[in-house]
Amino acid sequence: MKERILVTGGTGYIGSHTVVELQNSGYDVVIVDNLSNSNADVVDNIEAVSGIRPAFEKVDCLDYKALEAVFAKYDGIKGIIHFAASKAVGESVQKPLLYYRNNLVSLINVLELMPAYGVEGIIFSSSCTVYGQPDHLPVTEQAPIKKAESPYGNTKQVNEEIIRDTVASGSPISAILLRYFNPIGAHPSALLGELPNGVPQNLVPYITQTAIGIRPQLSVFGDDYNTPDGSCIRDFINIVDLARAHVVAMARILGKKQKEKVEVFNIGTGRGLSVLELIHAFEKATGVKLNYKIVGRRAGDIEQVWADPQYANNELGWKAETPIEDTLESAWKWQLKLRERGIQ
Ligand code: NAD
Ligand code: WQD
């Protein structure tokens, strides 16, 4: 019998790729998503990629009763991967209560339901944003948590604490907190990727939209940082590599291989790339010249951060493998496919 996994936010960017990797590894997947930042046709595309149609329930994780009905309907859910959250940093500054409500209450509902339905473990989508500007690079999981720069970032910190407190209180569940660095790219089939939602805040969607002519110019936010070329440095992690980390983390939980009931892993490549290096890698990978200009710094940006992924490499047996050029090419193919589908 296939083990059954519930994926909240499973039609979203990271969720959809993870569902495919779970299916490829033999798991039976149930998706819960309220479609606040995704579309139902993602389910068709997941099926087109994996050959298996996942169960899908349009449910809001804030709705405890509706969420409970999903646990009741799909017997024997073993593990949960909890992606469902609001994620736009700037919007969280404008609408903090929306972010606190959605991101905290959704998790609380999931954690309350897990023991009642015998669900063994949860994987939580955390972020390198919890480290702020680290004192040492590459940053390890032991680095101190810095005061959050935004309500969004704060929800990640508080949610990590909620999970720790719940497990410490004796709840019979275990957890893995995955701290993602900067996920980019799309599925190589160009059937799954990040759906656009207004003017992109993140670098790679802005690059691909500029390259295709939706935006006239890319602004590079600052070239006067204390880095070799003056632009900020990030650890850009391929979306499929990232998705695979969830599969091995779930196997670790269900195989009872955890060293502690709550474990934390950095999910990054271990390589820092500057914004300018990424732009040039995109031009090289795609042959498309980008129109960009250097402008002032963006408020709240971290100067440089990249992961020490050793612990994840050793313990999970997982490693980011995809070359950056392939990742950027996949982002470009996705942008071209969006145009084909008439999506801007
Ligand atoms: P996404 O917006 O593409 O996916 C999130 C999905 O959750 C969407 O499909 C949305 O409709 C759904 N959702 C939101 N609130 C919900 C609710 N109350 N009930 C049910 N469904 C709900 O975002 P993503 O980039 O795939 O991110 C997934 C997770 O990873 C989020 O928790 C995000 O904070 C975290 N994360 C993302 C990044 C990143 O750069 N993309 C980095 C670090 C962490
Ligand atoms: C990367 C670099 C920008 C756009 C954010 C969240 C973080 C995490 C991932 C979820 C920065 C520069 C960007 C542009 C630019 N999300 N940039 N021009 O800021 O590292 O992280 O997404 O947890 O919490 O804060 O990612 O893609 O926005 O920016 O020059 O038009 O690209 O200044 O240096 P960031 P990003």
pLDDT tens per residue across span 91-129? 999 999 999 999 999 999 999 999 999 999 999 999 999
- How large is the average pLDDT for residues 63-75? 98
pLDDT of residue 344: 83
Burial (Cβ within 10 Å: 0-12, 13-18, ≥19) of residue 296: exposed
Among candidates 85, 120, 92, 174, which has minimal Cα distance to 6? 120
And the tokens for 323? 């070359």
If one residue of 33, 39, 59, 83 were mutated to test the ligand 1 pocket, choosing by the most ligand atoms within 8 A of its CB, it would be 83
* Separation of alpha carbons 85 and 342, rounded Å: 27
Q: Please, which pLDDT band fits residue 260 given cuts at 50, 70 and 90?
A: very high
Nearest CA to ligand 1 atom 1: 12
Location of structure tokens 């940006």: 301
CATH 3.40.50.720 range(s) for the chain read 4-184+236-267
- Mean pLDDT for the stretch of residues 9-17: 99
What number does the ligand 2 atom closest to the CA of 156 have? Answer: 23
- pLDDT at residue 80, rounded to an integer: 98
Alpha carbon of 200 to ligand 2 centroid (Å): 10
d(CA 308, CA 160): 20
Nearest protein Cα to ligand 2, atom 33: 221
> What is residue 1's predicted lDDT score, i.e. its pLDDT?
84
Confidence of residue 299 (pLDDT cuts 50, 70, 90): very high
pLDDT at 262: 98
pLDDT, tens only, 136-189: 999 999 999 999 999 999 999 999 999 999 999 999 999 999 999 999 999 999
pLDDT on residue 225: 98
Residue 218 predicted with pLDDT over 90: yes
Domain 4-184+236-267, CATH class in plain words = alpha beta
pLDDT at 134 over 90: yes
* Ligand 1 pocket test, candidate residues 19, 30, 33, most atoms within 8 A of CB: 33
User: In DSSP terms, which residues pair with 32 in a beta bridge?
Assistant: 8, 57
For CATH 3.90.25.10, the residue range(s) in the chain are 203-234+270-339
Round the average pLDDT of the chain to a whole number and report it: 98
Q: How confident is the model at residue 99, as a pLDDT?
A: 98
152 is catalytic: yes
- Nearest alpha carbon to residue 277 among 324, 213, 219, 322: 324
Percent of the chain residues topping a pLDDT of 90:
99
Question: Fold for domain 203-234+270-339?
Answer: UDP-galactose 4-epimerase; domain 1 (3.90.25)
